[in-house]
Amino acid sequence: MSSASSTFKPEVPAAFALVRAWRAVTRPFRTSLQFRVMFAAISIGVISLVLLTTFLSSYIRNGLVEQRVTEILEETARSVSQAQATMNASAATTQVQVQQTLTDIIPALQQGGTSGRDVYLWKALNSDTSMFLLDHSTAQEHAGLIDRALRETNVRGSNQQHYRFVEIREADGTSPGIVVGSTVEMPVGGKFEVYFLYSLAAQEQTLRYLQGIVGLAGIALVAILGALTFTVTRQVVIPVQQASAVAERIADGHLDERLAVLGEDEVARLAMSFNEMASSLGVQIDQLAELSKVQRRFVSDVSHELRTPLTTVRMASEMIYENREEFAPVVKRSAELLHTQIDRFEDLLADLLEISRFDAGAAVLSAEARDLNELVITAIDNVMPLAEKKGVWVSADLPEVRTKADFDSVRVERILRNLLVNAVEHAEGNPVHVTVRASETAVAVSVRDHGIGMDREQVTRVFDRFWRADPARARTTGGTGLGLSIAKEDAHLHGGWLEVWARPGFGSNFRLTLPVRAGITLVESPVELEPSRETPDTTEPVYYDHEDHGPAVLPSFDQDSAAIPTAPQTTGAFDD
């Protein structure tokens, strides 16, 4: 005996993992209106805060720096004028006298500003004096901030001020600064370069303080914006959530559920409209339920009432049928047709009564522990006369162990009989194969024919009442069109599945799956729904799932792999 084929489980690509991670991250955006509104409001607030802070910081910095630079240039211009006046009034004629004059000017230059500054008084680069004069610096460690390019620019632009922003390095860190240069000239000593080094640390500290205030104010505004957004959206989201909960309760059958109407605003009017809709829906549902009840009662009553006259008609037809050989050929043929149609009419009445029991919820399950193998063999034996007449070979693949489960043998045998009769009828003389398998939680049987098959539209309606795949096609047994509908209801009554795979020109495969014991929820079937490929084909296969969602396209056959993907068992969605 062959065992059931293993399920194909492909490896999940890394791209799928990234997609799942992305969906997990974006889930709040898809599932929460309040989250989306708050995120949008806070994002806009943060972006606005960053732009505003950047603008204000730039504006304040430029204002502070420009103001300080103007003050510094005015101070240095006054200091340079005073130094030049001192040099012009000096009577120094010797090298020592000139050096002393320069030494006396330095303190006056350093203390001439409103804040501390360093002064550098150097002999000009292009000076042609023959005197050996020393340069003066109040902070020699920062002399490197005055580079040669600044000195050359300063010397070329006599009687003008030149400044450059620098970075002053101290033991405790760095701070911004500005160097302002100019030139002075002594009557005896020649031209000299004078530089003033100012620190802008106070302005930087002021700027950081203002930036901190602006940042804290912005954070407070964003927090207030978030709180306001949360409060406003909450007033809209809570009624929507309540409406969703009430709608779910109504969908579950609690038709008396209503929304609370508070106030007279738009939300209150929405609640009133929802309640009116629910009331109208409840009235229509009650009307439809009553109509359905009347319809079921009518079918049941008619079926019961027809049995009495039908019994009388059958008795009369039996007498006529038994004496048909004494009649003329036309009357004899009429007697045979009458006998056949009365049999079919009785089958139709029985099926209508069974359907009415399912509709009324009165169907009773008499479950007992049975061996499915025995029931399959019995069903095959019963269908063998029809198979011999149609020239169809019926084979069975049964497991060596017993396939015991708790089920109603009458109902399951009826399901198997319907599946086998349909398979033989549509096999077109090709073999019919029956497969039985069992697992720890389920038993299953599949009936595979290699006949005409079905297309997507036919598969969608295969379990509909009074529907046939080909009404014009002659049938040997003359079915009522209710067999598969009753079979599906019998399977659902057991908590099982009845599914079908079909391909035009390649036959069909019906699979019945039942739980081993009552209360077990089926997850998978021990029998594959899609059979292995016997002949290459490009026609799209379809199947009907157990959730009544209609047909779905199965995965294509993999010619390079022995394992074939199975149809989805739990979602019941289309695989387009």
Asked if the structure places residue 567 within a domain, the reply is no
Residue 180 sits in the same domain as residue 271? no
Q: Are 572 and 549 in contact (CB under 8 A)?
A: yes
Which pLDDT does position 547 carry in this prediction? Answer: 47
Average pLDDT of the chain, as a whole number:
78
For residue 216, tell me if it sits in a domain: yes
Residue 1 lies in a domain: no
Q: Residue 61 sits in a domain of what CATH number?
A: 3.30.450.20
Say if residues 88 and 76 touch (Cβ distance below 8 Å): no
Q: Phi first, then psi: give them for residue 200, nearest 5 degrees.
A: -105, 25
- In this structure, are 216 and 179 located in the same domain? yes
Residues 371 and 398 in one domain: yes
SS3 190: strand
402 and 547, same domain (yes or no): yes
Last residue of a domain, one of 329, 358, 387: 358
For residues 383 and 421, the answer to whether their CB atoms sit within 8 Å is yes
pLDDT for 542? 47
Q: Is residue 410 domain-shared with residue 544, that is, in the same domain?
A: yes
What is the DSSP track for 455-515? -HHHHHTTTSTT--S-TTS--SS---S-HHHHHHHHHHHTT-EEEEEEETTTEEEEEEEEE
Q: Is residue 7 part of a domain?
A: no
Q: Are residues 349 and 371 in the same domain?
A: no
pLDDT score, position 567: 33
pLDDT per position as a tens digit, 218-264: 888 888 888 888 888 887 778 888 888 888 888 787 778 888 887 77
The CATH number that applies at residue 330 is: 1.10.287.130
Identify the band that residue 433 occupies on the pLDDT scale cut at 50, 70 and 90: very high
Q: Identify whether residues 37 and 148 lie together within a single domain.
A: yes
| Rounded Cα distance, 251 and 234, in Å | 25
Among residues 218, 206, 217, the alpha carbon closest in space to that of 175 is found at 206
Same domain, 114 and 242: yes
Instruction: Give residue 434's pLDDT band: very low, low, confident or very high (50, 70, 90).
Output: very high
Residue where a domain terminates, one of 316, 335, 358: 358
Q: Is the pLDDT of residue 12 over 60?
A: no
- 70, 165: one domain: yes
> Residues 169-219: pLDDT tens digits?
887 888 889 899 888 888 877 888 889 998 888 888 888 888 888 888 888
Has residue 445 got a pLDDT over 90? yes
What does the alpha-carbon distance between residue 482 and residue 8 come to, in Å, rounded to a whole number? 36
pLDDT in tens, 519-558: 788 888 888 888 765 544 444 444 444 444 443 333 333 3
Residue 427: closest CA among 403, 459, 449, 401 = 449
Whether residues 166 and 208 share a domain: the answer is yes
pLDDT of residue 361: 66
- Beta strands at 162-170 and 190-199: parallel, antiparallel or unpaired: unpaired
2 found inside a domain? no
Pick from 178, 199, 180, 172: nearest CA to 116: 199
Does residue 434 form part of some domain?
Answer: yes
Q: Is residue 13 in a domain?
A: no
Domain boundary among 210, 225, 251: 251
Residues 322 and 243 occupy one common structural domain: no
Q: Is residue 9 part of a domain?
A: no
pLDDT digits (tens, 9 = 90+) for 292-331: 777 767 766 776 677 778 788 878 888 887 888 888 888 8
Q: Which domain holds residue 519?
A: 365-553
Tokens of 365: 């399950």
Query: pLDDT per residue over 366-416, tens digit each?
Result: 888 888 888 899 999 988 989 899 888 999 888 888 888 888 888 888 889
| Structure-token pair, residue 378 | 């019995």
pLDDT grade for 469, boundaries at 50, 70 and 90: low
Q: Same structural domain for residues 343 and 381?
A: no
Q: Rounded to a whole number, what is the distance in angstroms from the first to the last CA of the chain?
A: 35
CA distance 68 to 74: 10
- Domains identified in the chain, total number: 3
Give the integer Cα–Cα distance in Å for 513 and 491.
8
For residue 515, the domain's CATH number is: 3.30.565.10
Report the alpha-carbon distance of residue 453 to residue 459 in Å, rounded: 9
pLDDT recorded at residue 191: 84
How do residues 146-162 score in pLDDT, each as one tens digit?
A: 888 888 888 887 678 88
